[in-house]
Amino acid sequence: MVLDEGLRDPLRAARAIQRLDERTTALGLTTEVSTDMGEFARERLRVRDGVVSPMFDPDVNAFGANRAFWMRALDEDGKTVMLQAYRVDFIDTNLADWSLTWMLGLYHKRSEPVVPTYIRPPPGSQTEQVTGQVVYFGEAWVHPDRRRESLPDIYSRFGMILSLLKWHPSAIWGCMYDHLSRRGHSVRWGFPIIEPNVYRWEWEPVGASKNEWLMLARRSDLEVLIDEVLSREDWASS
């Protein structure tokens, strides 16, 4: 049995979570975390008027209490202004060979037609190096009225460090729209590795773009992310 490598400094990770929680509290927000993915699907439908993606749909996934979680932020009136979700999977091959097959399987379970242009990312993709326990990040949404407050940047880091503490993954990954990636949003969210057009579709999934960019943070990048959060003076409590 091979044990997962522990965090270099778990206390600093806990302090980074505290820093982010204090920052969101200063913005008048209350952060909630839950492993009830059925409730997430209902909240997503209520807030965004659309069904949850197959990756976080409890009807096509066998989510246990420790395989996924979601987060929301409530404003002072109790209104949901942020949603996002994370899930962990074990990959015994690599992300390049596994990810598209995984996606297609979930869409097939919901009888949603999707047709990829290619069956795997391009040769040389960083996804070829990712294996083991890996976290997928998705369903990120912030209310339009609150997007100027850097909530996507804050909460993506919040969830990534929580995932690091909870699961000790080798990497965290997700997909982003082409136009958002070109504006640098992936890096702003804390993902230092981006690759254009990793997932390309002839018939794209509902809510996706024809060309989706990969955003990826390896284990070492996540450790650096902790130091970044703690060093940002604009996120320090007053």
pLDDT 10s per residue in the chain (238 long)? 344 567 888 999 999 999 999 999 999 999 999 999 999 999 999 999 999 999 999 999 999 878 999 999 999 999 999 999 999 999 999 999 999 999 999 999 999 989 999 888 888 999 999 999 999 999 999 999 998 888 999 999 999 999 999 999 999 999 998 888 888 888 899 999 999 988 888 988 877 778 889 999 999 999 999 999 999 877 766 5
Nearest to 137 by CA among 60, 78, 222: 222
Residues facing 135 on adjacent strands: 88, 172
- Give the amino acid at 238: S
Instruction: Determine the Cα–Cα distance for residues 117 and 130; give it in Å rounded to an integer.
Output: 22
pTM of the model: 0.94
DSSP H helical segments within 70-200, as ranges? 95-109, 151-167, 178-182, 185-188
Class (C level, CATH) for 10-233: alpha beta
Strands lying side by side in the sheet with 132-142? 30-34, 68-74, 80-91, 132-142, 171-177, 211-218, 193-203, 115-116
Nearest to 78 by CA among 34, 39, 32, 22: 32
DSSP-derived letter for residue 47 is H
Instruction: Determine the Cα–Cα distance for residues 73 and 83; give it in Å rounded to an integer.
Output: 7
Write down the domain spans for the chain. 10-233
SS (H, E, C) 165-190: HHHCCCEEEEEEEHHHHHCCHHHHCC
Contact 69, 35 (CB under 8 A): yes
Contact 182, 197 (CB under 8 A): no
User: Kind and range of the H or E element at 20?
Assistant: helix 10-26
